[in-house]
Amino acid sequence: MIIMRRRSFSGIQPSGIPTIGNYFGALRHWVNMQDEYDGVYCVVDMHALTIRRSPQELAGNIRYLYALLRAVGIDPDRSTLFVQSHVPAHAQMMWLLSCYTMYGEMLRMTQFKDKSKKHPDNVNTGLFIYPVLQAADILLYDAHAVPIGADQKQHVEITRDIAERVNALYGPVFTLPEPLIPPVGGKILSLLDPTRKMDKSDPLPGAYISLDDSRAAIAQKLKRAVTDSEGSVRYDPEHKPGVSNLLGIYSLCEGITTREAEGIFSQGGYGALKDAVTEALDATLAPVREKVACYLADLPQLDALMREGAEKASAYADTVLRKLCAALGLLP
Ligand code: ATP
Ligand code: LTN
């Protein structure tokens, strides 16, 4: 008997080098979910075009991110890993879905409101219909689960609304996806302002640890990480956000609870905690750095892997696109 595994789909923008926040909040879950789900993971390069970028930098970020996803453990035997623009069905599906998405619905999207405030000189229509492309990504693969951070919940909800609208009009074309949000604790905070989330586009590089930071860079950033003047190591996110963030990072690296981490460091000072976090992070990231370097050292091979991923993804996406076209009355 063949047991069909449920499918998960998620995407990440090539908008810079991911941080340990992206890793612990998203990528690590994608890797762990592979045991249970048939994973489809995507470098969403077309989404990244909603903000002006240097073409050379974007091309470099796409390759880096693809190599990184392989390096952290997205396994091509259990998952499909591809670059969005390599599968034309995404753009085609987006147009079809845009005819079933209301203007007023897009106006309510908080990410659109935030990003148009952040880039007032470039409020393009791509930014406005960004969620329709995201809906196309998800619906093309019949995804049941979409692992994302809390900031993306609204986009999965609108995807469900669009899918339900089409299904109600034309019969069961789409699978309805569910957002899968990791329990709290997966939120890594800025090292310089531990009341805000760590963000790869933070203007201050000292605020985040990138997945390609060297041991020396990690040590230097942690030395400057904001703590408090109390001097005792306790896990108390409300009153001691900086120290609690460091304990959180340590526990995620070591696979222990924050209470266990607190027990290890309760007798020492902040210096000892920062040294141990440096050690733990470097041990987690060094193998990733090495693997990424291997992939990037052979670009023809990396491009061949991308092509294979795109072929695998296209085969599935094209069947769902054809199913929708037929339901709508478009001729084959
Ligand atoms: P940008 O700064 O370019 O807007 P970002 O760092 O916020 O990006 P995204 O590329 O938008 O990250 O997100 C990729 C995934 O990583 C999302 O699922 C998001 O929820 C998750 N993520 C991002 N930052 C953190 C963080 N500090 N802690 C936990 N998860 C995070
Ligand atoms: N909007 C998401 C990236 C993204 C995505 C997707 C996530 C694009 N398409 C499909 C899940 C499923 C972000 O900004 N993190």
For residues 7 and 41, is the Cβ–Cβ distance under 8 A?
Answer: no
At residue 20, the pLDDT reads: 96
Return the best residue to mutate from 9, 13, 81, 140 for the ligand 2 pocket (most ligand atoms within 8 A of CB). 13
Return the best residue to mutate from 13, 134, 153 for the ligand 2 pocket (most ligand atoms within 8 A of CB). 134
At residue 187, the pLDDT reads: 84
What is the whole-number distance in angstroms between the Cα of residue 264 and the centre of ligand 2?
37
At residue 248, the pLDDT reads: 95
Q: DSSP readout, 89-112?
A: HHHHHHHHHHTTS-HHHHHT-HHH
- Which residue intervals of 16-85 are DSSP H helices? 20-22, 28-33, 45-48, 55-72
At residue 1, the pLDDT reads: 58
At residue 61, the pLDDT reads: 96
Active site residues: 115, 197, 200
At residue 201, the pLDDT reads: 82
Of the chain, the end-to-end C-alpha distance in Å amounts to: 34
What is the whole-number distance in angstroms between the Cα of residue 72 and the centre of ligand 2?
19
Which residues, including other chains, have CB under 8 Å from residue 13's CB and lie 6 or more apart? 43, 44, 45, 47, 48
For residues 236 and 251, is the Cβ–Cβ distance under 8 A?
Answer: no
Which of helix, strand or coil describes residue 199? Answer: coil
Length of the chain: 332
For residues 247 and 233, is the Cβ–Cβ distance under 8 A?
Answer: yes
Structural domains of the chain, with CATH? 7-185+298-328 (3.40.50.620), 205-293 (1.10.240.10)
- Spatial strand order in the sheet of 178-180: 79-83, 38-43, 7-12, 145-147, 178-180
Distance CA 31, CA 41 (A): 10
Q: pTM for the full model?
A: 0.93
Residue ranges lining ligand 2, Cβ < 6 Å: 9-11, 13, 44, 47, 134, 137-138, 146, 148, 152, 155
Task: Using DSSP bridges, classify how beta strands 38-43 and 7-12 pair: parallel, antiparallel or unpaired.
Answer: parallel
The residue whose C-alpha atom lies closest to atom 20 belonging to ligand 1 is: 149
Distance CA 273, CA 290 (A): 26
Mean per-residue pLDDT pooled into runs of 10, the chain (332 residues): 83 95 92 95 98 96 98 96 98 98 96 91 96 98 93 95 98 97 78 93 94 97 97 95 96 94 95 98 97 98 98 98 98 95
Which residues are bridge partners to 210 per DSSP?
19
**Positive/negative CA dihedral, 205, 206, 210, 213:** positive
Q: Give the tens place of pLDDT for each residue, 26-45.
A: 999 999 999 999 999 999 99
For residues 292 and 212, is the Cβ–Cβ distance under 8 A?
Answer: yes
H or E element at residue 298: none
For residues 47 and 77, is the Cβ–Cβ distance under 8 A?
Answer: no
What is the whole-number distance in angstroms between the Cα of residue 150 and the centre of ligand 1?
10
Atom of ligand 1 nearest to the CA of 149: 20
At residue 2, the pLDDT reads: 60
Question: Which tokens in the block code for residue 203?
Answer: 């203007």
Burial class (CB in 10 A: 0-12, 13-18, 19+), 51: middle
For residues 263 and 284, is the Cβ–Cβ distance under 8 A?
Answer: no
At residue 283, the pLDDT reads: 98
